[in-house]
Structure 1
Amino acid sequence: MSDEALPHVPDSAGRHTVVVGGGLAGITAALALADAGVRVTLLEGRPRLGGLAFSFRRDGLTVDNGQHVYLRCCTAYRWFLDRVDATALAPLQERLDVPVVDLDRPAGRRLGRIRRDALPVPLHLGRGIAAYPHLSLAERARVGRAALALKALDLTDPALDDQDFGTWLAAHGQSPRAVEALWDLVGVATLNAVAGDTSLALAAMVFKTGLLSEAGAADIGWAHVPLGDLHDGLARKALDAAGVRTETRTRVASLDREPDGTWRVHTPGETFTADAVVLAVPQRETHDLLPDGALDAPGRLLEIGTAPILNVHVVYDRKVLDAPFLAALGTPVQWVFDRTAASGLTEGQYLALSQSAAQDEIDAPVAELRERYLPELERLLPHTRGAQVRDFFVTRERTATFAPAPGVARLRPGARTKSPGLYLAGAWTATGWPATMESAVRSGVNAADAALDALGRPRPRRLFAFEEAA
């Protein structure tokens, strides 16, 4: 797709860009443009920033709508944290270490770990896989061979996107048990789909980048404070300091391009005039706002599927989990995180269960989910037996991510459109990453870079510092 450069206008003309959407993609684009000296207005329909990674108040606690983590290889999101002065609030593990409890064992509950050593790739995972008790010796050996085959894949080969990861794993000797206990354990959490429903291209990207690029690439980081502190509070402070005008509760109804090349962005209360517009909203909303001719096949945006994430929140009257998080096998429970300190709870313990690829449960009644998950937590965490449940509630993100199905790559547009001065951002755009915070930030960078090129503005050096770290 092409994008003709806008006519050069001296700096004194005060170029103006409107960013529509205040999630991570929109915030990133706004900061990048402002850092380059562009006047920016950010419009967000919700009363807060942060998109689908936000917090809310409930009975005196600050609750995240869902658990979000990142990896050391997520260099763009790490740049974002640094840019909003939040790095210390979302630290990384010193070294990858994931406790994995298997409940479906003849001998009963068994604990294993996925962890790395301080050795170069691929030796960094060798001892951890060799000692992983949830696979047989033969399965562990076949995992190593599959990992080497995965490392050899060419991520630029478009044919990978037409294949599903599950079929590829089976063809490379991976048993159903190995898929469940290792590949899906990681893949479902990062891709929001099981291997059989996932593009080989996206799965290969995740595993090659996260586990097979650098020894520390998969070390896990997470916010030790509410997400709203990072993605709303500190982000808004950074936007204010950069001179961005931020308007929340301001939903864009339409936009159009004038004969002189400027854009009009219409909201119920005001019309904004801009030299460039960045649409950083979900794909369906983008489709509805796109002017005619902006994309060759705008209907493809509606073909990008979505996938849900269910989050189960349980507050106990006592401490029942000693680790900051764990993963589980042989139970509907996938990942459990301790959110006690971050929520402000002073007595007892607050656990958050992150349930990805939750198509079968996303609309289940709370009472049904309570009957299902509390007994499973008793099986998983023995200290819950006899503990009192002070609160149980769920949060649902029905369209949490785009579905990483085979063929999705051809549906994801780039940042540039055929309408001069109009750019797209969002984790669903063509970043090469699945729908993660990393993808959202990268998309904001891509849109800002394209807009700056057309506006004749130099790229701010600190915006692209993460590329040097990648």
Structure 2
Amino acid sequence: MKAHVIGAGLAGLSAAIELARGGAKVRLSDSARRAGGRCRSYHDATIDRLIDNGNHFVFSGNQAVNRFLATIGTADRLEGPPHADFAFHDIQSGERWTLRVNASPLPWWVLDPRRRTPGTTLGQHLALGKLALSRRGPATIGDVMPTSGLFWDRVVDPMMLAVLNCPPASGSAWLAGRFLRESFARGGRACRTMVAMPTLDAVFIDPALAWLRLRGTEPHFTCRARALRFDGEQVTGIDYGDGWEEVARGEAVVLAVPPWVAADLVPDLTVPTEFCSILNVHYAVDPPAGAPPITALIGATAQWVVCHGDRISITISGADELIDQDRDDLARRIWADIRATLPVAETMPPWQIVKEKRATFAATPEQDARRPGAKTRWRNLFLAGDWTQTGLPATIEGAIRSGVTAAGLARALRVV
């Protein structure tokens, strides 16, 4: 039994692990020099730190993530608060507060003004219940609830911008609702915000590769799939640039590559065509003692301030308007936001900006409708990636879930 997994990001690694668990011999390849895709870590010489390309959050209740990490032996390396507490700072007014979600699914926290966002009401929070019940279709968040006022500015907009990575008012109500149902609707035990410590590579990537190597899979890097050969209902060959590699009958191919690459390889494949960027800045300075691990900023250039052991990092979602601005100016503006939030020195430390111009598909109803499922019209070809129809926005949970889905379909069809 053999399976070809093209792409070694989290979707591809997830598919490879599931296939190997089922007894398949897996050939794993990636066009890059290393695994991880958009979830990668590296030593940055500018700030002399080992950093992640971005602050990739997961929730404590992410079932696919938890199963993946349990399999590769790193389930204990996600760090986060003991309770679902979310620290906020309004830069303009100076107000600070902590949104505190109770552990059980019964959301009694919304009844307590001390646990809610200041100035918001119970009735406004009930609107999130309506959003959570949204069905798949053309409705946007703006069609379901008001997009102005304190509740929008302090609750819905920052939350959904981080989740959807596109302007929330035009974001898919269905995807927003799916996120709410899998997180806040399940209570605080499911929505603690977790971060890979010390790095993404150490938690997600390197242990996954080690697990696969122990089972006979040695990944092939700088190995780009240039074309697929189709014959009837089957993929029968893969061109890696040095001739065709045969795909025998009974062998599966899992294509876990970005959507624009998949569209080049698979005839008539409909994929998302609009994307949104994410910008991250890393500052080489130790966080002050007692600082919250994560703080959401309102009315600032920065959106999320994350305190790591040896650096302070910020994330800006939906950063299309900032992505091409002057780097030095951005670093100074963002450092000013950090200074307004944390007791740090006025002098800006060494910094590095990391940009992902096509970080995620634009999570609008129109683009969501373009997401293909894992099945294709070729019996042995399956798709994986957070851009496929996972029923979630583009998240780590969705990427890992897509790999599991693709591998499961391959096994169910007795391809491997």
TM-score band, normalised by shorter chain: over 0.9
Q: Which has the higher helix share?
A: 1
Which residue does 2:129 correspond to in 1? 148
Contact residue 415 and residue 424 of structure 1 kept, 8 A: yes
Matches within 5 A, 1:308-387: 308-316=277-285, 319=288, 322-339=291-308, 341=309, 345=310, 350-381=311-342, 383-386=343-346
Question: Which among 412, 422, 435 is matched to residue 394 of structure 2?
Answer: 435
1:411 is paired with a residue whose SS is coil
1:243 is paired with a residue whose SS is coil
Contact residue 316 and residue 389 of structure 1 kept, 8 A: no
- Bigger mean CA deviation after superposition, 412-421 or 56-65: 56-65
Which residue does 2:37 correspond to in 1? 51
- Structure number with larger C-alpha Rg: 1
Contact residue 233 and residue 379 of structure 2 kept, 8 A: no
CA apart distance, 1:262:
5.7
What letter is aligned with 1:371? R
Which residue does 2:24 correspond to in 1? 38
Matches within 5 A, 1:20-419: 20-59=6-45, 60-105=48-93, 109-127=94-112, 130-131=113-114, 134-136=117-119, 139-151=120-132, 153=133, 157-158=135-136, 161-170=137-146, 175-258=148-231, 261=234, 263-269=236-242, 271-274=244-247, 275-290=251-266, 292=267, 297-298=268-269, 300-301=270-271, 303-316=272-285, 319=288, 322-339=291-308, 341=309, 345=310, 350-381=311-342, 383-386=343-346, 388-419=347-378
* 1: CA distance, partners of 2:208 / 2:274: 29
CA apart distance, 1:55:
0.5
CA apart distance, 1:58:
1.6
- Bigger mean CA deviation after superposition, 52-61 or 110-119: 110-119
What letter is aligned with 1:250? C
Query: Structure 1 residues 119, 25: CA separation in 2 closer, same or farther (over 3 Å shift)?
Result: closer
Which residue does 1:453 correspond to in 2? 412
What letter is aligned with 2:98? R
1:327-364: CA deviations, max 9, x gaps? 1112122100112x3xxx4xxxx110010000101112
CA apart distance, 1:373:
1.5
Aligned length: 411
What letter is aligned with 1:142? G
CA apart distance, 1:320:
7.1
1:425-460: CA deviations, max 9, x gaps? 000001100000000011101110111122266xxx
2:154 is paired with a residue whose SS is helix
- Bigger mean CA deviation after superposition, 394-403 or 217-226: 217-226
* 2: CA distance, partners of 1:262 / 1:251: 17
* 2: CA distance, partners of 1:119 / 1:418: 43
Which stretches of structure 1, 4 residues or more, deviate above 6 A after TM superposition?
none
* 2: CA distance, partners of 1:124 / 1:191: 24
* 2: CA distance, partners of 1:333 / 1:422: 41
Query: Structure 1 residues 336, 455: CA separation in 2 closer, same or farther (over 3 Å shift)?
Result: same
* 2: CA distance, partners of 1:318 / 1:17: 45
CA apart distance, 1:90:
1.1
* 1: CA distance, partners of 2:116 / 2:176: 24
CA apart distance, 1:370:
2.1
Query: Structure 1 residues 110, 132: CA separation in 2 closer, same or farther (over 3 Å shift)?
Result: farther
What letter is aligned with 1:311? N
2:225 is paired with a residue whose SS is coil
What letter is aligned with 2:185? L
Query: Structure 1 residues 62, 317: CA separation in 2 closer, same or farther (over 3 Å shift)?
Result: closer
What letter is aligned with 1:116? V
Output the aligned Cα RMSD: 2.1
Contact residue 317 and residue 390 of structure 1 kept, 8 A: no
Contact residue 43 and residue 246 of structure 1 kept, 8 A: yes
- Bigger mean CA deviation after superposition, 226-235 or 27-36: 226-235
* 2: CA distance, partners of 1:284 / 1:435: 15
Query: Structure 1 residues 34, 133: CA separation in 2 closer, same or farther (over 3 Å shift)?
Result: closer
* 1: CA distance, partners of 2:110 / 2:19: 40
1:183 is paired with a residue whose SS is helix
Which residue does 2:5 correspond to in 1? 19
What letter is aligned with 1:384? V
2:219 is paired with a residue whose SS is strand
- Bigger mean CA deviation after superposition, 369-378 or 314-323: 314-323
Gaps of 5+ in 1: 1-14, 458-470
Query: Structure 1 residues 126, 86: CA separation in 2 closer, same or farther (over 3 Å shift)?
Result: farther
Contact residue 101 and residue 329 of structure 1 kept, 8 A: yes
Contact residue 99 and residue 117 of structure 2 kept, 8 A: no
Gaps of 5+ in 2: none
* 2: CA distance, partners of 1:48 / 1:231: 13
What letter is aligned with 1:323? P
Contact residue 48 and residue 232 of structure 1 kept, 8 A: no
Contact residue 54 and residue 228 of structure 1 kept, 8 A: yes
2:349 is paired with a residue whose SS is strand
What letter is aligned with 1:114? L
CA apart distance, 1:197:
2.1
Contact residue 263 and residue 276 of structure 1 kept, 8 A: no
Contact residue 102 and residue 134 of structure 1 kept, 8 A: no
What letter is aligned with 1:143? Q
CA apart distance, 1:104:
1.8
2:300 is paired with a residue whose SS is coil
